[in-house]
Amino acid sequence: MRIGLYPGTFDPVTLGHVDIIRRATVLVDRLVIGVAINRDKGPMFSLEERVAMIEAECAVLSEQTGVEIIAHPFDNLLIDCARDVGAGIIIRGLRAVADFEYEFQMVGMNRRLDATIETVFLMAEAEHQAIASKLVKEIARLGGDVSKFVTPAVHKALMAKVG
């Protein structure tokens, strides 16, 4: 069985994330969405809320694709999380050149930690390349319309958070 790990903070999950998840399902039989606890980032949504959003957004996608998609919280090294879930590949989404520079370093370090786990990069579709959770939260906090960047369910949750 081909198991992939797509890690992130997902605070909140955006249409860009959903796009990468959908496209990753053609590569694996099981896709684990690693929801990083990452207390240093000070997430807007609790871990439980982020996991629930991922599960809700992926339920239909899993049914449509026949690929098992599960959410898995983690607070250890990414490579250790990959081992914990039995992933042979780590899936990373790229939006811009700046993402590549960071990801290039991460791949090098992860390969040194475990050369048996490959990293696969997927470019976000053009209409999703500018979407970043950080920017979505900022726009929402300042009263802007973020409905073009998240699903209706995530939009509702985000609006409840910002008031």
20, containing H or E segment: helix 15-24
For residue 10, give every residue at least 6 positions away whose Cβ sits within 8 Å of its Cβ, in sequence order, or none.
Answer: 17, 33, 35, 36, 50, 53, 54, 133
Catalytic residue among 83, 95, 111, 141: 95
Q: Clarify whether 156 is annotated catalytic.
A: no
Q: Clarify whether 133 is annotated catalytic.
A: yes
Q: Clarify whether 41 is annotated catalytic.
A: yes
Catalytic residue among 22, 50, 128, 133: 133
Catalytic residue among 2, 41, 148, 156: 41
**What amino acid occupies position 11?**
D
Q: Clarify whether 62 is annotated catalytic.
A: no
Catalytic residue among 17, 22, 30, 137: 17
* Edge-to-edge order in the sheet of strand 118-123: 68-74, 30-36, 3-8, 89-94, 118-123
Q: Would you please indicate which residues are annotated as catalytic (active-site) residues? A: 17, 41, 95, 133
